[in-house]
């Protein structure tokens, strides 16, 4: 869990996923992420687990606009339900999400992370 915390902190601090929330969601749900030394960070999350993770780490909700999601349509007080609804509406299984995930994976590779390819 420490590797995951460090990874998310690194993403926030350096804004690697800035403007690419769809890619981040797709990457965290469907791909294996590890450090360059082989230490596993993530093997993928269920939607519910990812929603809980984003809630726990207080991920910035400002990126939902890039997904075309209206915050007024989301549960305002329960952040886990909020993020779950965002994930559902993001269409993380689409070809567009796979391309966004590939874009973020390339950025992360340049910064010492190994990201598996999108499952076919």
Where do the domains of the chain lie? 2-115
Order of strands, sheet of 113-115, starting from the edge strand that comes earlier in the sequence: 40-42, 33-35, 113-115
Query: Is residue 101 very low, low, confident or very high in pLDDT (cuts 50, 70, 90)?
Result: very high
Share the mean pLDDT of the chain.
92
Which residues does 59 contact at the CB level (< 8 Å), separation at least 6? Answer: 8, 12, 83
Reply yes or no on whether the pLDDT at 120 is more than 80: no
- The whole-model pTM stands at 0.91
Reply yes or no on whether the pLDDT at 89 is more than 70: yes
3-state secondary structure of 100: helix
Averaged pLDDT, 15-42: 93
Reply yes or no on whether the pLDDT at 1 is more than 70: no
Longest dimension (CA), the chain: 43
């Amino acid at each position: 869990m420490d590797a995951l915390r460090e990874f998310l902190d690194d993403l926030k601090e350096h804004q690697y996923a800035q403007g690419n929330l769809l890619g981040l969601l797709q990457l965290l749900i469907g791909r294996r992420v590890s450090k360059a030394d082989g230490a596993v960070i993530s093997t993928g999350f269920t939607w519910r687990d990812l929603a809980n993770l984003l809630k726990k780490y207080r991920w910035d909700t400002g990126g939902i606009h890039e997904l075309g999601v209206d915050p007024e349509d989301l549960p305002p007080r329960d952040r886990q339900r909020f993020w779950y609804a965002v994930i559902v509406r993001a269409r993380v299984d689409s070809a567009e999400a796979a391309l966004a995930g590939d874009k973020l994976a390339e950025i992360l590779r340049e910064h010492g992370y190994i990201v598996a390819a999108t499952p076919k």
